[in-house]
Amino acid sequence: MPQESARQLDPFKDMAGVDFTPERLAELLAAYGGILDEIKKLRQLDLTDIHPAVVFDAASGYRQDKSR
């Protein structure tokens, strides 16, 4: 089996970088399934007209004018 096909069959290994046994994966999905469902709901929200409360600016520490 080519490596790309194996990667498609085991997205959890690719995503987490850990090779879970099927039993452990079932435990994790049972424990965190509710959180995954809530994340799916959040990803469906249309936030195009909502401005974030905090805007991260990595360059702000290097500016001469510290007022911004």
In the chain, the number of structural domains is 1
Alpha-carbon gap, residue 17 to 4, rounded angstroms = 15
Q: Residue for token digits 């520490």?
A: 61
Does some domain include residue 38? yes
Extract long-range pairs of 48-52: CB within 8 Å, 24+ residues apart: none
Does some domain include residue 68? no
Please state the φ and ψ torsions of residue 8, each to the nearest 5 degrees.
-65, -30
Residues with Cβ within 8 Å of 68's Cβ and at least 6 positions away in sequence, in order, are 57, 60
Q: 36 lies in which domain range?
A: 3-46
What is the tens place of the pLDDT at every residue in 26-64?
898 899 999 989 999 999 999 889 888 888 888 888 887
Does some domain include residue 7? yes
Task: Say whether pTM exceeds 0.75.
Answer: no
Residues with Cβ within 8 Å of 29's Cβ and at least 6 positions away in sequence, in order, are 36
